[in-house]
Chain A
Amino acid sequence: MTRKGIIDEAMRVVLLCAGLASLSIVVLIGLFILRESLPAFHEIGVWNLLSGKEWRPGQGQFGLLPMIAGSGLVTLGAICLGLPLALCCGIFLAEIAPTWIRVVVRPSIELLAGIPSVVYGLFGLVVLVPAVRQIDYPGNAGFGLLSASIVLAVMILPTIASVSEVAIRSVPDEYRQGALALGSTRWEMIRRVVLPAARSGILSAVVLGLGRALGETIAMIMVIGNSVMMPTTMGGPLPGIFLSRARTLTGNIAVEMSYATGLHSSALFATGVVLFVLIMIVNSAARALMSRNVRGGRP
Chain B
Amino acid sequence: MTAGGARRTAWQNCVFALFWLSGITAMAVMLAVVGYVMVKGIPEFSIDFFTTSPRGGLSGEGGIASTIVTTAYLVVMTMAIAAPLGTAAGIYLVEYAGNSRNRVATAFLKLSRFGIETLAGVPSIIFGLFGYALFVTAMHFGFSLLSAALAGACLVLPVVVRTAEEAFKSVPDAYREASLSLGATRWETIWKVVLPSATPGLTTGIILGVGRILSETAVFYVTLGGSCRTPTSIFSSGRTMALHVYYLAMETRAFDKAMATGAVLVILIIFVNLAINAVSKRLSAGGNRS
Contacts and interface: CB of A to CB of B under 8 A. Distances in A.
B170 interface: no
A53 to B, nearest CB: 23
A254 B218 contact: yes
A2 to B, nearest CB: 9
Contacts of A216: 123
A198 to B, nearest CB: 15
Interface in B144-181: 154, 157, 161
A91 B20 CA distance: 10
Counting chain B CB atoms within 10 Å of each CB, which of A93, A119, A211, A214 scores highest? A119
Contact of B22 (A89, A221, A272): A89
- Looking at chain A's contact residues, is the secondary structure mostly helix, strand, loop, or mixed? helix
Contacts of A268: 129
Contact of B269 (A11, A86, A114, A186): A114
Contacts of A127: 36
A36 interface: yes
A97 interface: yes
A22 B31 CA distance: 38
Nearest to A8: B185
A113 to B, nearest CB: 9
A19 B187 contact: no
B37 interface: yes
Given A84-B22, A107-B273, A258-B222, A22 B157 contact: yes
Given A222-B250, A257-B128, A275-B126, A116 B217 contact: yes
A286 B176 CA distance: 40
Nearest to B40: A126
A12 B130 contact: no
Nearest to A268: B129
B99 interface: no
Interface string A194-227: 0000000000000000010011111001100000
Interface stretch (A25-33, A54-62, A231-239): A25-33
B214 interface: yes
Nearest to A211: B121
Contacts of B187: 7-8, 11-12
B129 to A, nearest CB: 5
Given A218-B218, A218-B246, A257 B259 contact: no
Given A161-B26, A275-B123, A96 B129 contact: no
A154 interface: yes
A287 B178 CA distance: 42
Interface in B95-141: 95-97, 108, 111-112, 115-116, 118-119, 121-130, 132-134
Contacts of A185: 5, 8-9, 11-12
A12 B215 contact: no
Contacts of A116: 214-217, 242, 245, 262, 265-266, 269
Contacts of B22: 84-85, 88-89, 92
A29 B154 contact: yes
B246 A22 contact: no
Contacts of B134: 32
Contact of B132 (A112, A125, A257, A283): A257
A222 B253 CA distance: 12
Interface stretch (B50-58, B60-68, B83-91): B83-91
Interface string B7-18: 011011001101
B125 A92 contact: no
A122 B269 contact: no
B25 interface: yes
A115 B215 contact: yes
Top 8 A-B pairs, shortest CB-CB distance? A215-B123, A18-B88, A116-B215, A26-B115, A88-B22, A92-B23, A19-B92, A217-B218
Given A11-B190, A154-B29, A257-B128, 6 more contacts: A4-B188, A18-B89, A114-B272, A122-B249, A250-B218, A254-B128
25 contacts: A12-B186, A16-B92, A18-B89, A22-B86, A22-B157, A29-B119, A85-B29, A92-B23, A109-B30, A111-B269, A115-B33, A117-B215, A118-B243, A119-B266, A126-B259, A154-B29, A187-B8, A187-B12, A215-B124, A222-B249, A253-B125, A257-B129, A272-B125, A275-B125, A283-B121
